[in-house]
Structure 1
Amino acid sequence: MMIQEPVPEFVPPQQEAALWHAYRSSGDLNCRDLLLDRYLPFARMLAAIAYRQRYGDEAEFDDYLHFAAVALIEAMETFDPGREVPFTAFAAWRIRGGISDGVASYSDKQRQLQAQRRLAQRIDSLAEDEAEPSVRQAFAQLATVAVGLALGMLLEDSGMVEPDESMHFIAPAYHPIELEQLRRRIHVHVDRLPEREARLVKYHYFHGLRFDEVAELFEISKGRVSQLHKQALERLRHLLNQESLQTLEY
C-alpha cells in the first residue's frame, strides 16, 4: 500500500516565499522560527512513518524524532529557495536519510545513554541550587522534581504536535481515557505559556530537540534553557491546579 506523503498546513506560496527570502537575505530569526514551526510537524510525520516501518527496536520513537528534527534544521540551512524546488521535496529525502543513518549507527547502549542524558537535563533544570537545604526544603525540592518529571513524561508521551488521528498509534491502546484527557489538557495549556516557554516545550518534548539544540535556536545559553524549562513546567503545574480548583467549585 502506498503511503501518502504528509503535507504541512497550507500557507500561500507568496507568504512562504517571503519568509524564505527574509531569512536568506537578512537572517531574520523570526522568519526562521515561523518556517521551523511550519515544518517540524512534517518532520515528525516522516519520523512516525519510518518508526512504523522499522525492522528492529534499536531506537525508540523519541530517537527517530530527534534524527528527523536535526535533519530538518540542516535542510533549512542549505535550502536555496531560488531553485524553485518545494522545500518538502528538498527536505524529505534528507530527513529520511538522517533517520536511516541515525538508526543504523545506533546501539542499545547509545539509546540508554541518550535516555539518561534527557532525564539528567530535566532533573538539573528542576532542582534548586541550595548549598545546604533543610529537611523541609529537601522534601519540597524532591516534590518539585517529581511533579516536573511526571509532567515531562506526559508531555513526551503525548504524541501531539497537532491533535492528529494519524499519530495515535504512538500512545499505547491500554492507556486509560483519563490519562489521554489529561494529556490533551496539558497540550491546551502549553499554548497558554509565554511564547518562548511554549516553543521550548514543543521543541524539546514534541519534536525531540535536546536542550543544547534549543539553546542554539534561541541563541541563548544552555543554562538559560534549563531555567526556561523549569519555569514552563512550574507554570503548567499552576495552570492545571487552577483548572482543578475551578472544576471543584462547579
Structure 2
Amino acid sequence: MRTHASTKHSHDDAPDTRAAFARLAALSDGPERDALRQELVNAWLPMSQRLAGRFRNRGESLEDLCQVAALGLIKAVDRYDPGRGHAFVSFAVPTITGEVKRHFRDHMWNLHVPRRVQDQRNRVRTAQQELSRTLPGRSPTEEEIAAEAGLTPEETRAGLEAIGSFRTLSLDAEILGGDQGRTMTDALGGPDPALDIVIDREAVKPRLRELPERERKILYMRFFRDMTQSRIAEDLGISQMHVSRLISNSCDRLRREIMQDAA
C-alpha cells in the first residue's frame, strides 16, 4: 500500500510524512510498524545527507558523516511525537546536527579539549572563512578575527591554538624544514643524569656539615678533587688504610642518615 511518505511539498523538497508519523504512533511493535519506520527513514535520508554535507572538509570523510547523520535521523524518527504539534523537520534538524557535532567532539579530537574551547575554535574557524572572502590578498589578524567572531583576544587565541589540536602528528612524522629523515622522535629530549646528581648533593649537604672537619676534608679531596687515597694519606700524614676506613665509615654514616630522613 502506498503511503504519504513519498509525497513532496511544493515549496521545498521535504517529504510530507505527517500521516505516516500519525499512523506510526498508533501502531504496536511488529513487522508493519518496522516497515513504516524504515520507509520514513528512507524518505528523510536525503535531508540528513544534506545536513552532513555542511560538515565536509573538517577532517572526516563525507561517507562517514552521512552515516553519523543517518544515525541521528533514526533517533529523530524514534523520538518524534506528532501529538505535540511540531513539524518533524523542526525536530529532526537539531537532532541530526547534534549527532554530527557529538561525533566531532567525541571521536575526532586527538587531544582532550574542553567544549568551551571547541566552541571558540569553531567560531574562529568560521570567522576566518568569512574574512578570507573579503580581505584582499592577506590573512586576517587576531583582532579582526575576534571582532568577526564576537570573542575576546584571549578567547580568539585559545580558538586558534585549538585548531592545531584537532589532529596530532605521529612521532614517526618527518620534521618539515629539518634534516632529511629526521623525525619528531629525534627531537624529543631524554632523562638528564645530572638532575639525579643535584638531588643527591642537596640531600647530603646538611649531613656533611655534621661530620668532623677531618672527615669532611677527606671526602672533599676524594670526591670533589678526585684525589687518590694514597695522595690524601700523604697530604694528611696518615696511612692509606686509615684514609680508606674513614671514607668507608663516613659514607656509611651519610647513607644511613639520609635513608632515615627519607623514611
Q: Which has the higher contact order (CA 8 A, sep 6+)?
A: 1
Q: TM-score, normalised by structure 2?
A: 0.33
Higher helix share: 1
Q: TM-score, normalised by structure 1?
A: 0.35
